């Protein structure tokens, strides 16, 4: 078995995104590669080193520390409560030493792009959960990262808000051409968003199944799940995850 892939090479002229699913504690986000029982285990979002074609990524580089070609959205709340929406979004540009006037202009454009126009001077405690997630997406987008790493970013949202965020993510990804790697426990989310889904085994995580998602784009997040094609893909993934679930119960 090859090392668990952590990045997807864009195909044709549009984004190819990848979702990674598996049992809780399977090391989907930060695999424990020090474990001698996991010779094929590569960190999913923690280091980004192995690709399907056995090359290094991105652009032949090993990612140690901060990398400006990679953006990250965490599962946990990651806005700075003492900063306004504008200052939260502009923070990566501030770290990069970009002048304030340019920071404000670029951040303001992205804020409008993710549907937060009029909230630039609000603080996180004044926003809903979905709006704070939009702030995190905007902060990732503002410096033009080529790859987006998403660690269960919508897990805490209710069903309706999650659909809205799925729709926004698909639109943003199509516009920016980013490669997206998503870790999720939600099979419906994975099939809705991804071009391929990787199913992990229990810890130490290895690649149990790679499923290509041949659903045409653009995708209607409200209705695609009711198609026969979606059901077939969902059932195939669940059959493999069922094995992990049954083993976990033993």
Domain that holds residue 132: 77-144
For 54, the token pair is: 């056995």
Instruction: Calculate mean pLDDT across residues 41-56.
Output: 40
Q: Both 126 and 188 in a single domain?
A: no
Instruction: Give yes or no for residue 77 having a pLDDT over 90.
Output: no
Q: Both 207 and 159 in a single domain?
A: yes
Q: Both 158 and 109 in a single domain?
A: no
Q: Both 161 and 242 in a single domain?
A: yes
- Alpha-helix runs per DSSP H in 79-199: 85-95, 100-113, 129-141, 159-176, 187-193
Q: Indicate the number of domains in the chain.
A: 2
For residue 61, the model assigns a pLDDT of: 57
Instruction: Mention every residue, 6+ apart, whose C-beta is less than 8 A from residue 239.
Output: none
pTM higher than the cut 0.75: no
For residue 44, the model assigns a pLDDT of: 45
Q: Both 152 and 244 in a single domain?
A: yes
Q: Both 57 and 81 in a single domain?
A: no
Other Cβ atoms less than 10 A from the Cβ of 214: the count is 9
Q: Which of 118, 144, 170 is the last residue of a domain?
A: 144
Q: Both 160 and 172 in a single domain?
A: yes
- The proportion of the chain whose per-residue pLDDT surpasses 90, expressed as a percent, equals 27
Q: Both 14 and 53 in a single domain?
A: yes
Could you tell me which residue, 244 or 118, shows the higher pLDDT?
118
Could you tell me which residue, 222 or 34, shows the higher pLDDT?
222
pLDDT (tens digit, 9 = 90+) per residue, 206-231?
777 788 888 988 889 999 999 999 99
For residue 65, the model assigns a pLDDT of: 53
For residue 68, the model assigns a pLDDT of: 67
Q: Both 114 and 151 in a single domain?
A: no
Q: Both 109 and 172 in a single domain?
A: no
Instruction: Calculate mean pLDDT across residues 164-169.
Output: 88
Q: Which of 119, 144, 169 is the last residue of a domain?
A: 144
For residue 226, the model assigns a pLDDT of: 95
Instruction: Mention every residue, 6+ apart, whose C-beta is less than 8 A from residue 137.
Output: 73, 114, 153, 168, 169, 172
Q: Which of 144, 162, 186 is the last residue of a domain?
A: 144
The CATH number that applies at residue 11 is: 3.40.50
Other Cβ atoms less than 10 A from the Cβ of 12: the count is 6
Instruction: Give yes or no for residue 54 having a pLDDT over 90.
Output: no
Q: What is the mean pLDDT of the chain?
A: 75
For residue 62, the model assigns a pLDDT of: 56
Q: Both 173 and 57 in a single domain?
A: yes
Instruction: Calculate mean pLDDT across residues 93-109.
Output: 93
Q: Both 63 and 95 in a single domain?
A: no
Instruction: Calculate mean pLDDT across residues 151-171.
Output: 86
For residue 245, the model assigns a pLDDT of: 67
């Amino acid at each position: 078995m090859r090392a668990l892939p952590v990045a997807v090479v864009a195909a044709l002229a549009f984004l190819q995104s990848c979702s990674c699913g598996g049992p809780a504690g399977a090391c989907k986000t930060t695999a424990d590669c020090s474990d001698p029982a996991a010779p094929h285990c590569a960190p999913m979002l923690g280091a980004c080193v192995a690709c399907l074609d056995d090359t290094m990524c991105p652009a032949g580089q090993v990612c140690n520390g901060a990398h400006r070609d990679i953006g990250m959205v965490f599962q946990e709340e990651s806005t700075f409560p003492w900063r306004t929406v504008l200052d939260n979004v502009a923070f990566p540009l501030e770290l990069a030493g970009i002048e304030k006037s340019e920071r404000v202009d670029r951040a303001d454009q992205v804020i409008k792009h993710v549907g937060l126009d009029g909230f630039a001077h609000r603080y996180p405690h004044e926003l809903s959960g979905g709006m704070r997630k939009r702030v995190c997406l905007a902060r990732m987008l503002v410096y033009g990262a080529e790859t987006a790493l998403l660690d269960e970013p919508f897990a805490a949202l209710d069903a309706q808000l999650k659909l809205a965020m799925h729709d926004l993510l698909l639109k943003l990804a199509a516009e920016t051409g980013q490669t997206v790697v998503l870790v999720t426990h939600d099979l419906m989310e994975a099939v809705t968003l991804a071009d391929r889904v990787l199913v992990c085994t229990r810890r130490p995580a290895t690649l149990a199944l790679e499923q290509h998602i041949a659903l045409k784009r653009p995708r209607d997040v409200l209705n695609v799940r009711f198609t026969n094609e979606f059901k077939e893909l969902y059932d195939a993934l669940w059959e493999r995850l069922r094995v992990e679930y049954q083993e976990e119960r033993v």
